[in-house]
Structure 1
């Protein structure tokens, strides 16, 4: 069975992806990006959370550490700006670099990346509500990951110039997927922001309602995964696919950790609600 699946996969990928570029850097980044994100997802499942969002309060022993032990602390809003702004700048600046984004596919990819991170920055400034702090080292870790992946995605597209086009053109399917992903992610972030106006639980958290929150704990992660696979289909490079796959593994782990957190905080958390995919996962 495994051999049959691998044969199917090996025949499918050349039909939808550009040939892998002869670049040791891009090859290494495929491995590093997927492996690091997958490891982070498994860490979330084990309860070893990245110190931001609600999990800042539940990292083992974190609430007992002094500021000196935790390192430099930023406000959560400032931490997320540090995380997102460099990637936004990189995507936007790519249009000013001669030859960096040649051709329709490269231009659409860079524009989608810029829109993605611009949306995140605007949400940080005007939508999200925060409590607590974020360690500077966490903000810098997230920032460097997003910045490097954005640059690599654009660079991998640049290296695809002159390579044989994939037999199946998925560019506009990718644009559609990206649009659905970014819209759905924004809508559910908006719903989450409406919950943080006080409440009777720690830091004002409530069980989310509305939209797909009626079916899953983390629909915003489901749509974020959708958006990243939109990047992969727009690009049709092996790196974009590796990045999307790694992001999916990480957010699956984060979704299960979030569901576990809600169940621990709310005795009336509905058992029918899944973690990420309605009725399935």
Structure 2
């Protein structure tokens, strides 16, 4: 019953052990990441991770500046999406929309790293490589999955146009709230402040909320099981990270508004 209902919205899984394995592995890793955030084991490029020079020298790990590190994280996925968009034009409208969304998504991230975000710390090179490989693998896998289902019958319920709208809402809202975050501190300031404006008056991580909406858009355009698995896993991961972020702000600011939720206004 559940399977037949689900297949009204997505393509059947392709006959590919790689795609099917990645569907399970990706979802499991992201969900586990969210649970680790709740337990206090935060992602190693967040403000909760201590990357002091003393630790770096003790472990002999090469580090990159935060800006250079994040450029390396996103650049391979962006290049891959551009190549797919440019050289696989005969795969149909849905494929073009998916690769276009991926290209815009990673271009926005590179633009924000270069011109919007402020960085004061550094990133261990092994963490940079791990995240870069993860985003690159996501781009390749979601695109390959889309290629494999191109000749299969379309899902009964077509979500690609609703997905495009959702993606545009998500990427716009995410960019806007990243911009607000970048304006919190004046040049030279390093102390953290409570974000204000936009949906920050309701939740502490509206940028994560809109990122989830963007990923929902990509999965609706794609309508493949892999894209759905990544979106569900990412949502759980970002829920965990937003929970950890709110907990951090509560511990650092006595005047943090208790009615400001973590991710979903009035709910969570």
TM tier, smaller:
over 0.9
Deviation at 1:134, TM superposition (A): 0.9
Aligned counterpart for 2:28 among listed residues 35, 48, 54: 35
2:61 is matched with 71
Residues 1:196 and 2:185 are matched in the alignment = yes
Deviation at 1:117, TM superposition (A): 0.1
SS of match in other structure, 1:270: coil
RMSD of aligned Cα (Å): 1.7
SS of match in other structure, 1:17: coil
Aligned counterpart for 1:179 among listed residues 163, 168, 174: 168
1:3 is matched with none
Residues 1:102 and 2:91 are matched in the alignment = yes
As a proportion of its length, which structure holds more helix?
Answer: 1
Q: Over residues 98-141 of structure 1, what are the superposed CA-to-partner deviations in whole Å (9 max), with x where a residue is unaligned?
A: x4761000011001000000000000000000111111111111
Q: TM-score under structure 2 normalisation?
A: 0.96
Q: Over residues 128-165 of structure 1, what are the superposed CA-to-partner deviations in whole Å (9 max), with x where a residue is unaligned?
A: 00111111111111111110011000000000121111
In 1: Cα distance, 2:139 partner to 2:90 partner = 13
Residues 1:247 and 2:234 are matched in the alignment = yes
In the alignment, structure 1 segments of 5+ residues that lack a partner are 1-6
Tell me, yes or no, if the aligned pair for 2:9 and 2:156 is still in contact at 8 Å. Answer: yes
In 2: Cα distance, 1:199 partner to 1:73 partner = 22
Deviation at 1:63, TM superposition (A): 7.3
2:135 is matched with 146
Residues 1:136 and 2:129 are matched in the alignment = no
Aligned counterpart for 2:203 among listed residues 197, 216, 223: 216
SS of match in other structure, 1:115: helix
* Aligned pairs, number: 268
Tell me, yes or no, if the aligned pair for 1:101 and 1:158 is still in contact at 8 Å. Answer: no
Q: TM-score under structure 1 normalisation?
A: 0.91
Aligned counterpart for 1:82 among listed residues 55, 72, 77: 72
